[in-house]
Chains A and B, each alone.
Chain A
Amino acid sequence: MRNKPAILILVFAAYICACGAVYAHHGNSAYDEARIVTITGTVTEFDFVNPHTQIYLDVKDAKGNVVHWAVESQSPGIMKRNGWSRTSLKPGDQITISLNPAKNGAPVGFSGKKTGKVVFSDGRELMMDER
């Protein structure tokens, strides 16, 4: 084990990498804040407008039927601070998005808490957190 000191250094460095972040919280009485749903589908529209940005996408349900989802998120300014721009999404993009669904069961949700994020087909991720 003559290499032990060097191995320990590398393990220590890997440990330092394993850091995370904590974000804030947003509430809205129309949505079920206790549930987080993750859906994957094809973007049909992205409205980067005030006071709420909106993402619309087609999602196949368990039976193969296409369900049109509407997702509310933060204002463009807050999205911008999360790395978004008006060109971040375009029709045809395949994305996975996590959201709080509407309490009434409609295919509508809010994505903007610390758990709300979009994962692109190439693995990139963008949050929509309050900041």
Chain B
Amino acid sequence: MRRCEKRLPLRNRWLYLAGTATLILFAAPVRSAQQQGAAAVAPAPAPRRDITGVWQYKAPGGSEGLAPDKDMPPMTPWAQERYDAEKPGYGPKASPNGNDPILRCDPMGFPRVMFALGPFELVSAPGRLLQFFEREHEWRPIWTDGRSIPVDPDPTWYGYAIGHWEDDFTFVVQSGGYNDKTWLGSTGYPHTDEMRVTERYHRTDHDTILYDITVSDPKAYTRPVVAPQRIMKLRPHQEIEEFVCVASDEQAFSKRINEPATKTPGK
């Protein structure tokens, strides 16, 4: 200490102390950021046969269709007629005064809910995986006990889903039994009640699922709709909030905000 005092004149010692303290203060966050950066480069390996947790897909535009228009196959006359009547709020046909079913608080349904704002949570239960969606505050069971999709089930908004592990890191879900009242996504596109959906949740590391989804509906599309692969990230500290469509609040919102924002000037 004596040698140090000789080297450092007393009047300058405060400056070195301040500098050292500052370096210590910032060294921890920088090291932490470096560790996070390193984690982003080399995350922990994926656990075997486990995709439970809160996951989030962030649509680049906030809300999007199942697949881009260019990737949608030709429609059957039935589907084309329905599509022509659709006035979605997003995509190439975006219209301020649309007829999207969710504007009257109809359920978003599956698979559309997968591409809406908000995370989902997968919870394991005996014989099934439960999938909770923040959007709609809705859920569906994915049966894993070996059962099949029922023949001619009563159609529902969220269908009937079964799942199995294709390998230790790939969970495959097949579903059917949907009604034909929902759109495939926020850009529109109809489907029939014979729609079948295949999903692959491929967990590539602890924090990442690569999600593939294919919709087969020969009465609506001349070939299966193969969606682009989406990346879903684990959100371990995120909670599923209540994002429901409240009809009375939606009506008030329409009257006070949507109608003034969309009416033609001067009318």
A47 CA to B253 CA in the complex, in Å? 10
A92 to chain B, nearest CB (A): 20
How many contacting A-B pairs (Cβ < 8 A)?
124
**Chain B residues near A6 (CB-CB < 8 A):** 12, 15-16, 18-19
**Chain A residues near B52 (CB-CB < 8 A):** none
Stretch of A34-42, A58-66, A99-107 contacting B (4+ beta carbons < 8 Å) = A99-107
**Chain A residues near B18 (CB-CB < 8 A):** 6, 10
Decide: A24 near B242, CB < 8 A? Known: A9-B19, A10-B18, A13-B23. Answer: no
A2 CA to B62 CA in the complex, in Å? 55
Q: Is A25 an interface position by the 8 A CB rule?
A: yes
A31 CA to B16 CA in the complex, in Å? 55
**Chain B residues near A3 (CB-CB < 8 A):** 12, 15
**Chain B residues near A30 (CB-CB < 8 A):** 96, 258, 261-262
Contact (Cβ within 8 A) B257 A108: yes
**Chain B residues near A31 (CB-CB < 8 A):** 261
Q: Is B236 an interface position by the 8 A CB rule?
A: no
**Chain A residues near B58 (CB-CB < 8 A):** 24, 130
**Chain A residues near B241 (CB-CB < 8 A):** 75-78, 80-81
Q: Is A20 an interface position by the 8 A CB rule?
A: no
**Chain B residues near A130 (CB-CB < 8 A):** 58, 62, 117
A81 CA to B242 CA in the complex, in Å? 12
**Chain B residues near A25 (CB-CB < 8 A):** 60-62
Q: Mark B1-29, 1 if CB is under 8 A from A, else 0.
A: 00000000100100110111011011001
Which chain B residues in 157-185 approach chain A with CB under 8 Å? none
Contact (Cβ within 8 A) B263 A54: no
Contact (Cβ within 8 A) A51 B250: yes
**Chain A residues near B208 (CB-CB < 8 A):** none
A9 CA to B63 CA in the complex, in Å? 46
A72 to chain B, nearest CB (A): 5
**Chain B residues near A81 (CB-CB < 8 A):** 238, 241
A101 CA to B246 CA in the complex, in Å? 25
Q: Which of A13, A54, A78, A80 contacts B253 (CB 8 A)?
A: A54
Instruction: Count how many chain A residues have C-beta atoms less than 8 Å from C-beta atoms of the other chain.
Output: 42
Contact (Cβ within 8 A) A51 B23: no
Contact (Cβ within 8 A) A26 B62: yes
Q: Which of A54, A78, A105 contacts B118 (CB 8 A)?
A: A78
Decide: A72 near B260, CB < 8 A? Known: A10-B22, A16-B26, A24-B62. Answer: no
Stretch of B41-49, B65-73, B87-95, B221-229 contacting A (4+ beta carbons < 8 Å) = B87-95
Contact (Cβ within 8 A) B19 A5: yes
Q: Which of A16, A49, A103 contacts B30 (CB 8 A)?
A: A16
**Chain B residues near A87 (CB-CB < 8 A):** none
A77 CA to B244 CA in the complex, in Å? 10
**Chain B residues near A26 (CB-CB < 8 A):** 61-63, 117
Q: Is A90 an interface position by the 8 A CB rule?
A: no
**Chain B residues near A108 (CB-CB < 8 A):** 257, 260-261
B8 to chain A, nearest CB (A): 9
- Could you list 21 examples of A-B contacts with CB < 8 Å? A5-B16, A5-B19, A6-B19, A7-B15, A13-B22, A25-B62, A26-B117, A27-B62, A51-B249, A51-B253, A52-B250, A52-B257, A72-B261, A75-B117, A77-B134, A78-B118, A78-B243, A81-B238, A104-B261, A108-B261, A130-B58
